[in-house]
Amino acid sequence: MLSSGTDGQTGSSQTTQMRSPESVAFENAWNASRGGLVVPLRSAIDLRRFAPFAPWFAIIEPDPKSVALPFRLTGSGFRDFFGHDLTGVDYLALADPAIRQHAYDCVMACLDTPCGLWQSTPATTAEGGSINYEYTILPISKRDSVVDLIGIFVNFEAKPFDDLPGLSRIERSTVWQWLDIGHGVPPDELTGGAPFG
């Protein structure tokens, strides 16, 4: 799926070449759901457009008052992979403690700008190995003009999904890029480290 030889932010043309067709299709479905708004409403994220992504789609509602990124909706792929429903679980509890604050800050920047984020991230498996996965995150809104949710599509390197090993810890991403959805991207001071994992 993705290969990476560098750490950090890549140029947009390089990222476009590295992004999987599934990631691009997810962003296209998100764009089609905007309906002229800055970001799509949660109610516009429906199976008509998002069925291909549903098993590996999640919605996170960042807590603006504390460093927490709780899942509000997760697809069946997450339940199958983790062995339980992640609804209500803080994403940051799954991440390496060294990256939690920065991951939270980058998610909040995606809401504040608003913009999206793409990245390739390794994870340590329960057996001690490593697996790469691709995040595509884009902001959505519970109601008009308030950008307060993050939609996430996760695309795993290993297929079929039945063969995915258990996850032990999400590591620091190896390649990433802000996605400009028409409002710019966060300031340079947020680009010093891997954003979301």
pLDDT tens track of the chain, all 197 residues? 222 223 444 444 445 568 999 999 999 999 999 999 999 999 999 888 999 999 999 999 999 999 999 999 999 988 887 888 999 999 999 888 888 998 899 999 999 999 999 988 776 666 667 677 888 999 999 987 799 999 999 987 544 444 444 554 455 566 789 999 999 999 867 655 545 45
Q: Exposure string (b/e) for 164-190, b if CB count within 10 Å is 16 or more? A: bbeeeebbbbbbbbbbebeeebbeeeb
CB 107 within 8 A of CB 137: yes
Nearest alpha carbon to residue 147 among 116, 187, 191, 178: 116
What's domain 12-180's architecture?
A: 2-Layer Sandwich (3.30)
What residue has token string 């959505």?
A: 140
